[in-house]
Amino acid sequence: MGQEVETTRMGSSFVYASARTPFGRFNGALADTRTDDLAATALKGLLDRSPGLDPGLVGDVFWGNANGAGEDNRNVGRMAVLLAGMPVSVPATTVNRLCGSSLDAAMMAARMIEVGDAEIAIAGGVESMTRAPWVLPKPSRRFPAGDVTAVSTTLGWRLVNERMPAEWTVSLGECNEQLQEKFSISRERQDEFGARSHRLAAEAWKKGFYDDLVVPVPGTDLGQDESIRAGTSLEALAKLKPAFRPDGTITAGNCSPLNDGASAVLLGSASAAATIGRDPVARIAGRGWAALEPQQFGYAPVEAANGALERAGITWDDIGAVELNEAFAVQSIACVDAWLKLGLRDAEVVNAKGGAIAIGHPLGASGGRILGTLAARLVESGERWGVAAICIGVGQGLAVVLENVA
């Protein structure tokens, strides 16, 4: 005779709060701050948003990180928990899905809550691209006679397997030049998109939108995202030289820079509100993921977002806000163009507070940033539905649908 097992309907997960550091430039204001300290700063800043919450009641911490070769090694999520002063009883894991790491972390935390394994969880991510080390492969024998090369772990492919097809392992910039050719997206459109990102990010900071989302990093005087150039003009962007092809369209002005920073998001069940001491702001209504040929990674958010909408039971007609990580202007434009054809009401709902071209893209932290920004935008606007989406190197994309419950 078998034992009867009680089954319950899967619950919902909610975003309660978010916090992030300002994003610093490569070799900029955060260059002297260790990666694990950046992570701890975002985590502590998040907990400070909910002073009524006993940190020991956090069921698990999921932390995104793309490089993991330096100060972010040895499970930087757990390091963040300890450095932030949380109880040693709070566990943590580190997630690596490259640029999508912290959005993936949030998806994992949400699933944990929805299946009832925890009432409260934290997701976040960190990257110091400035402090990413050079690495040396170990020799196959002692004292090799030839030279060895130190390989940068800052961005992109390194120590590539020879069995990988060459077309899969081209630079991220070359991947997007190919995308530009496929969709005929002009240099002018890309520069316009880049200038818009800087303009909207600067406006959002000036109007105070980011004031409650960003926490200072101890030992620095960085007050806002360091890569934003408020006076960026089309004329200035047009003068920049192509970065990846002599006759290419992608420049330093229409793609995201290298950055340092961290982000964190507090998630919980509906019943966790009393424990946390605040009401939730958004429900995680749908999740999506997709994979394409590695060189087509910039377009992967299209199907990832479509899948998230389908799981949420809504369509693009319902969406009032989109946060799309702007790795490159060309891939962002390609994604937005596709969504407009599927019913997105207006391109202006995408990244209305600026995007990664201006704000920055510290790889492991960007997913948490766009999710927190999306929740705040829904609260501000009163729109019901929003999408956070991100492209991921080696051909992947992730997306989350939020429903405003504030």
From the list 175, 255, 335, 361, the catalytic residue is: 361
In the annotation, is 335 catalytic? no
Class of residue 290 by CB neighbours under 10 A (exposed 0-12, middle 13-18, buried 19+) = buried
In the annotation, is 391 catalytic? yes
From the list 99, 175, 255, 335, the catalytic residue is: 99
Q: How many whole angstroms separate alpha carbon 189 and alpha carbon 157?
A: 28
Check: CB of residue 57 under 8 Å from CB of residue 287.
no
Going by the DSSP 8-state scheme, the letter that residue 255 receives in this structure is B
Q: Give which of 385, 383, 387, 394 is closest to 339, Cα–Cα.
A: 387
Write the Ramachandran bin of 102: left for phi over 0, alpha for psi from -120 to 50, otherwise beta: alpha
Give SS3 for 226: coil
Q: How many whole angstroms separate alpha carbon 12 and alpha carbon 85?
A: 29
Give SS3 for 290: strand
* Pairing, β 282-291 against β 60-64: unpaired
In the annotation, is 361 catalytic? yes
Task: Count helices and strands (H / E) in the chain.
Answer: 11, 12
CB atoms within 10 A of CB 18: 30
Q: Give which of 289, 24, 297 is closest to 157, Cα–Cα.
A: 297
Task: Provide φ and ψ at 200, rounded to 5°.
Answer: -70, -35
HSE (side-chain half, CA atoms, 13 Å) at 151:
14
Distances from the Cα of 270 to the Cα of 19, 61, 273, 279, angstroms: 20, 18, 6, 9
From the list 175, 255, 335, 391, the catalytic residue is: 391
Q: Which residues are catalytic, by number?
A: 99, 361, 391
